[in-house]
Amino acid sequence: MPELVLATRNKGKIAEVQRLLTEHAPHITLRSVADFNLDDVDETGTTFEENALLKAETIARQTGLPALADDSGIAINALGGAPGIYSARWSGVHGDDAANIAKVLEELADVADSERGAQFVCVIALCLPDGRHLTVRGEVEGHVLRAPVGEHGFGYDPIFQPVGFDITTAQMDPATKDVISHRGKALRAIAPKIAPFIGAS
């Protein structure tokens, strides 16, 4: 079976990608960077696109296998689009969801409910070892609540309420979240392209 390396160790992301790839490309074996003895890729880009490509290109080159990487985060209107590409380390500690959420809520404490608009953004890059690549982008509009609600998901899910819903993405079951999420949209856009692109169709 053809293999595809997912450039993350985040178990939540791996599970989301696995669910969607099973639906769209079931004959491709998904591996993560945890299966390889690789260092983390420094995210030195200034956009979601640059960081996603940087990760995918590096992992593809190091493993000799096609690599799929995403860069995602929350862009809050009242913060000028921040935390954006710094979402995972907004509090100063990479991957500390509770601390990141606490910092966002503190910074928005005096912002009116009507001014708390935000977008979840996900850019996915697919890269081959020879450098060929493609990218897709998915977004979902919503607003930031004043306190976390819900036990599912990860990252900023407990404080993000998508437009058209009265619950957060952390209150959604995985199937519902996959339909509306930024990562779900991006994955559905790229999934049909994966097998032809890596020569596995």
- Which residues participate in catalysis according to the annotation? 71
Amino acid symbol at 71: D
| Sequence-separated (6 or more) residues with CB below 8 Å from residue 2 | 27, 28, 29, 66, 195, 198, 199, 200
Residue 111 in tokens:
């912002």
Is the Cβ–Cβ distance between 105 and 159 less than 8 Å? yes
In the structure encoding, which two tokens stand for residue 171, read together? 């209150």
Reply yes or no: is the peptide bond before residue 148 cis, omega within 30 of 0: no
Q: What CA–CA distance (Å, rounded) separates 186 from 3? A: 20
Task: Provide the 10 A C-beta neighbour count for residue 29.
Answer: 11
Q: Quote the CA–CA distance of 53 and 59 in Å, as a whole number.
A: 10
Q: Which two tokens stand for residue 161?
A: 């309420």
